Amino acid sequence: MESNMESIIKKAEILVEALPYIQKLWGKTVVIKYGGNAMINDELKSSVMEDITLLKYIGMNPVVVHGGGPEINKALDKFDIKSQFINGLRVTDSSTMEIAQMVLVGKTNKEIVSLLNKMGGKAIGLCGIDGNLIECEQYKANVDGKDIDLGYVGKITKINSKLIELIAKDEYIPVVAPIGVGKDGQSYNINADTVAGEIAAALKAEKLILLTDIEGVKMNKDSNEIIPALTVDEALNLIDQKVIDGGMIPKVLGCIDALNKGVGRTHIIDGRIPHCLLLEIFTNKGIGTMIMKEKVPYYSNEKL
């Protein structure tokens, strides 16, 4: 009986630990980039959707931006279309663009909306074409000093955030597919991390959270210890020291860019951990790496 009571008390302590964060974040916008293994594993899918729904019910304004690379790959394989990548970006010809839009907007987006609605949320699916939400132009990769044509890959020129704001500040959860639109009405495929960062900046979000398949920024290459919080200067120093390298560099630089454009805090967390959003947002230490301009705590007991 005692151990059962101890377990109940611990649950109460967890709720109390969350209280100052709930107070601080009530009414604030949180942009979540949903991707990686959390989109593939059914248990993790449910866990993330539960977290997002809970955020809405306790007074935050979550905005979801999703990727969908694996689903696009499956669809391209079915149509026997080969994928080519340059600097991590998919070369997107007209056939690939048609399939990417079909998968991201017609399938992946609606599946996420359906899951959130099933959890009791009220989700609305959008893409950058709706209301000219994401205006863009053709992006060209620079490789060895030369501009390389990637086809219908977009570079964001403007986020028209009014539509998202209207939805998010009401009772709904916007779910955004990373498809943009050019001045001529042409659709473009855009990196989902980039879309999430630009939307967070346009909304002046309190938080930008990137769900990934990595734990966060490590102390060094030989360590498994995650750095819970970094300033922008500290993060840039770690890039210079090559502690942060490879695919982590664009994620960290994306976070820094969002911070410089007005986002309060940014987070890189492991989406493979059940209820990763709640663990990062509502516990003193969190589970991933938070990057911020200055280490200013929300309240006195927060560990930065």
pLDDT digit string (tens) for 245-271?
877 888 999 999 999 999 999 999 999
Predicted local distance difference test score (pLDDT) of residue 91: 84
Asked if residue 229 has pLDDT above 90, the reply is yes
Q: What is the pTM of this model?
A: 0.92
Determine whether the annotation assigns residue 189 to a binding site: yes
Determine whether the annotation assigns residue 36 to a binding site: no
pLDDT digit string (tens) for 15-38?
888 999 999 999 999 999 998 877
Determine whether the annotation assigns residue 90 to a binding site: yes
Instruction: List, in sequence order, every residue forming a beta bridge with 184; answer none if it has no partner.
Output: none
- Inter-axis angle of helices 248-260 and 232-240, nearest 10: 150
Q: Which range, of 15-29, 87-101, 276-290, averages the lowest pLDDT?
A: 87-101
Domains with residue ranges and CATH for the chain: 64-191 (3.40.1160.10), 206-304 (3.40.1160.10)
Instruction: Give alpha helix (H) positions in the chain.
Output: 2-25, 42-57, 69-78, 94-101, 109-118, 162-168, 192-202, 232-240, 248-260, 276-282
Asked if residue 276 has pLDDT above 50, the reply is yes
Predicted local distance difference test score (pLDDT) of residue 1: 47
Q: Average per-residue pLDDT in the chain?
A: 91
pLDDT digit string (tens) for 55-87?
999 999 999 999 988 889 899 999 888 878 777
Taking residues 42-58, report their average pLDDT. 94
Q: How far apart are CA 206 and CA 220, in angstroms?
A: 29
